[in-house]
Chains A and B, each alone.
Chain A
Amino acid sequence: MSQTVQAVANDGMRPSGGSILVVRDLYRYFGGIKAANGVNLDVGRREIAGLIGPNGSGKSTLFSLVAGTVKPDRGQIRFDGHEIAGMSAHRIARLGLARTFQIPAMFDNMTVTENLLAGAAQGHWQGAHERAAETLGLLKLVHVADNRASDLSGGQQKLLEFGRVIMRQASLILLDEVTAGVHPNIRKIILEAIARLRERGISFLIIEHDMEMVRNVCDRIIVMDSGRVVTSGSFNDIVRNSEVMQTYLGRPQ
C-alpha cells in the first residue's frame, strides 16, 4: 500500500456529527482471508454514499457485518445512535436498517406480492397491502404481481429485492449491486425509486460498479481495497485521483 493511500486511509470518515452510520476499526477474517481489515467509514443523514472497489475487496462483507448477517471479530458499528456490532440481524433490521443481497435472495415459493408483504410482516403492517400495491406500481411489477418470485427474470428479481427493502420503511438502505447486469429500463426504474426515497430523507450506502450510475446518484464515493477504506470524496475527486483509479479500479478514466 503506497504512502498516498495510507495518508488518506481515514477518508471514509466524515467529520460530521450527523452520521447515521459510523463504522470504526472493523475486522472480520475468514480463515486467512482478511475480508474486513480495519474498516472505518461514515454515512451521513440523507446522504447517498457510493461504495466502490475491486472484486473481493470486502464490500459485500461490510454490508453483512453492518446488517448482522455476519458477526465481526472486533470493531464498532454505530447505527442511528445504537451500538449494533454483534447484534442479531433481525434486531438491527428493526432499528431501521435494510439491505439487499448481491445474489437476489428471493422467497422463491411466494408470489411477488407476498414477497413485498413479507418485507412489512415485521413491524410495519399498517397499510401494508396498499404500500405493496404502490410499490408494484413504482417498480412496474404489476403484471407479475401473482407470479412466483422464482419465475421472474434476473432483472425483475433485482427489482423485487429492492421493492422488499422499500417495504421495510428503513432509515438507512444498503444496496449491493442492484443494477448489475440489468436492462437499462430496469436501471432507470431503480434510479427513479432511489430519488423518490431520498426525498423522504432516507440515507443510502450503495455498492456499484457502473461509474455512470455512481456519478448520477451518489453524493460521495468511498473506495475500498483489501478489506479497508482507502479514500473517499466527490466523484470528481476520485476520478482525478488517477492513482486510485488505476490501482483500485484497474482502469484509468
Chain B
Amino acid sequence: MKSRLASLVLLIAAIVVLALLPALVNNYWLRIATGALMWAGLACSWNMLGGYAGYINFGQSAFFGLGAYTSALLMGDPLGLPFFATIPAGIVVTAIFAIIIGAPTLRLRGAYFAIATWAFAEVLTQFVNVVGFTGGIGGLNLPPFLDERFFYFTMFAAAVLTYLVTWALFERSRFGLKVKALRDHEPAAEAMGINTALVKLQTFVLSAVTASVFGSIFAYWVTFINPKSVFGGDITDQMVVMVLLGGLGSLWGPAIGGVGLFVINRLLWMNWGDTAFYIAILGAAIVLVVLFLPNGIAGLFAKRPAESATVLDKAVDKLVGNGEGGHS
C-alpha cells in the first residue's frame, strides 16, 4: 500500500516535470526530450506483442515507416491534408498491412511470424526505394513547422496515451489476462475458450498502429524522411534492445530502456559525433542483460520476483516451437 502510494506520487511528479519541461530547458534539450519520449513509446509498442504475448517482431520499423510515409504523402502535394488528419490515415494503412501479415503467420510457430515481419520490412523498404511517388531513395519533404514545443507536447501526449492504454489493456483487463495466458501456454489458453489467433492478431495490430502514430509525428517533426531514416532495420534493433534492457513484458521497462539508451546515444553524438560507439553500447547492453540483468532494469525494482527472464524463455520457446503439441 505504502509503496503503491510512493509510485503514484513518483508518477505524478514525473508527469508534472515533463509537462513543465519546455519552460525549464532550452530547445536543444527539448529536442532530446522529444526523442526520448518517442523511443519510450516505440519500445512500449514492441513490448505489447513481444513482452505480453511472446511473439518476436523483427520488422516493427515497417509500421513506424508506414505512419511516416502516409503523413508525408497526405500532407504534401496535391492533397495537403492537415497533420492531425494524417495520423488516423496512417493507423488505417498500418492496420491493414498488420492484418495481412499477422493473420496467416500468427497461427504458426513464432519463427514464421518473426521471419514474415522481417521480410515485410525489407520488401517495403525496397519498394519505397524504387517507386516514384514515395520519392525513392531521395525521400520526401514535409511542410516545415518549426515549433519545438508543439512537437514536444504532441510526442508527450502520444507517449502518455501509449502507456495509459498499455496499462489499462495489458495490466488491468481481462484482455491482458488472455494475452499473457497465450504467451505462457497456448494450448491451455485455447482450452480456457480463448481464441488465441484472434487475441494475438489484435495485439499485433495495436502494437503496429502505435508505432505508426509515432512515425507520423516523427515525419512532421524532422520535416524530411527517406527509406533509411524511417524503415531502417536499426530502428527495430534499438526497440528490441531497449525493451530487453528495461525489462521484457513489464510496463515501465520499455520506458526506462527507451529513455536511457536514447539519452546515451545523444550524449555520445554530442561528444564524438556520428560514431560506431553507440552500436558497441547496444551490444554491451545485450551482454549486460544476458549475464547480469536477466530481468532488466525494471526487475531491480520489482517487489515480486520479476519475470522478464522467464518471459523471454516463453518467447524463445515460441520461436523454436517448443510448447506446441507434445503436451500429453
A102 to B188 alpha-carbon distance, docked (Å): 11
Residue B20 interfacial (CB < 8 Å): no
- Please indicate the chain A residues that have their CB under 8 angstroms from the CB of B328 in the complex: 60-61, 64, 102-103
Residues 128-151 of A contacting B (Cβ, < 8 Å): 128, 146, 148, 150-151
- A101 and B189 contacting across the interface, CB-CB below 8 Å: no
Is B318 positioned at the interface, with any CB of A under 8 Å from its CB? no
A123 to B178, CA, bound (A): 12
**Contact present for A99 and B191 (CB under 8 Å):** yes
- A90–B196 CB distance below 8 A: yes
CB pair B184 A122 closer than 8 Å? no
Interface centre among A70, A101, A122 (most CB of B within 10 A): A122
Is B184 in contact with A108, judged by CB distance below 8 angstroms?
Answer: yes
Q: Say yes or no: B180 contacts A109, CB within 8 Å.
A: yes
Given contacts A109-B311, A121-B178, A150-B310, contact A103 B194 (CB under 8 A): no
Judged by a CB distance under 8 angstroms, whether B101 is at the interface is no
B307/A148 in contact, CB under 8 A:
yes
Asked whether B249 lies within 8 Å of A90 as measured between CB atoms, the reply is: no
Contact of A121 with B190 in the complex, beta carbons under 8 Å: no
Contact between chains at B193 and A123 (CB < 8 Å):
yes
Contact present for A109 and B191 (CB under 8 Å): no
Question: A109's contact among B178, B184, B192, B325, by CB below 8 Å, is which?
Answer: B184
Would you give the shortest CB distance from A233 to chain B, in whole angstroms?
26
Q: Tell yes or no: A168 within 8 A of B by CB.
A: yes
A109 touches B183 (CB 8 A): yes
Given A101-B327, A103-B328, the answer on whether A122 and B193 have CB atoms closer than 8 Å is yes
Q: Is A146 touching B304 in the complex (CB atoms < 8 A)?
A: yes
Any B CB within 8 A of the CB of A234: no
A-facing residues in B166-215 (Cβ within 8 Å):
174-175, 177-178, 180-181, 183-185, 187-196
Cα distance A12–B181 when bound, in Å? 35
When distances are taken between beta carbons in the complex, the residues of chain B under 8 Å from A186 are: none
- A89 and B194 alpha carbons, distance in the complex (Å): 9
Question: For A123, what are the chain B residues with a Cβ–Cβ distance below 8 Å?
Answer: 193
Of residues 270 through 328 on chain B, the ones whose CB sits less than 8 Å from some CB of chain A are: 304-305, 307, 310-311, 314, 325, 327-328
Q: Assess whether A118 is interfacial by the CB under 8 Å rule.
A: yes
B191 neighbours in A (Cβ, 8 Å) = 67, 69, 89-90, 93, 98-99, 101, 105
Instruction: List the A side residues contacting B305 at CB < 8 Å.
Output: 148, 151
Docked Cα-Cα span, A114 to B177, in Å, equals 7
Q: Would you call A228 an interface residue if the criterion is a C-beta within 8 Å of the partner chain's C-beta atoms?
A: no
Q: Could you mark each residue 109-135 of chain B with 1 if its beta carbon is under 8 Å from any beta carbon of chain A, else 0? A: 000000000000000000000000000
Interface size on A, residues (CB 8 A): 40
A117 to chain B, nearest CB (A): 6
* Interface band, chain B: 20 to 34
The answer to whether A122 and B178 touch across the interface, beta carbons within 8 angstroms, is: yes
**Cα A119 to Cα B185 with chains together (Å):** 13
Query: Is there contact, CB below 8 Å, between B310 and A103?
Result: no
- A168 and B192 contact, CB distance less than 8 A: yes
Verify A118–B181 contact, CB threshold 8 A: yes
- How many Å lie between the Cα of A121 and that of B183 in the bound state? 15
Which B residues are CB-close (under 8 A) to A60?
Answer: 328
Residue of B175, B191, B307, B311 most packed against chain A (CB within 10 A): B191
Please state if A89 and B187 are interface contacts (CB–CB under 8 Å).
yes
A99 to chain B, nearest CB (A): 6
Q: Closest residue of chain B to A95, judged by CB?
A: B193
The proximity string for A residues 80-117 relative to B, scoring 1 for CB distances below 8 Å and 0 otherwise, is: 00000000111001100011011101111111001001
Chain B residue at minimum C-beta to C-beta distance from A167 = B192
Q: Is A164 among interface residues, defined by CB-CB distance under 8 A?
A: yes
A117 touches B177 (CB 8 A): yes
Contact partner, B195, options A90, A105, A107, Cβ 8 Å: A90
Smallest CB–CB gap between A101 and chain B, Å? Answer: 6
Query: Is A29 an interface residue, CB under 8 A from the partner?
Result: no
Q: A35 to chain B: closest CB distance in Å?
A: 9
Q: Could you give 28 example pairs across A and B, Cβ below 8 Å?
A: A64-B328, A69-B187, A69-B190, A89-B187, A90-B191, A90-B195, A90-B196, A93-B190, A98-B191, A105-B191, A106-B184, A106-B185, A107-B180, A107-B189, A108-B185, A109-B307, A109-B311, A109-B314, A110-B180, A117-B174, A118-B177, A119-B192, A121-B181, A122-B192, A122-B194, A123-B193, A150-B310, A164-B192
Contacts A89-B191, A123-B193 aside, 19 further interface pairs with beta carbons under 8 A come to A88-B195, A93-B190, A93-B191, A101-B187, A105-B188, A105-B191, A106-B185, A106-B188, A107-B181, A107-B184, A108-B314, A109-B183, A109-B310, A118-B192, A121-B177, A121-B192, A121-B194, A125-B174, A164-B188
Nearest 6 CB-CB pairings of A with B = A105-B188, A122-B193, A93-B193, A89-B190, A107-B184, A121-B174
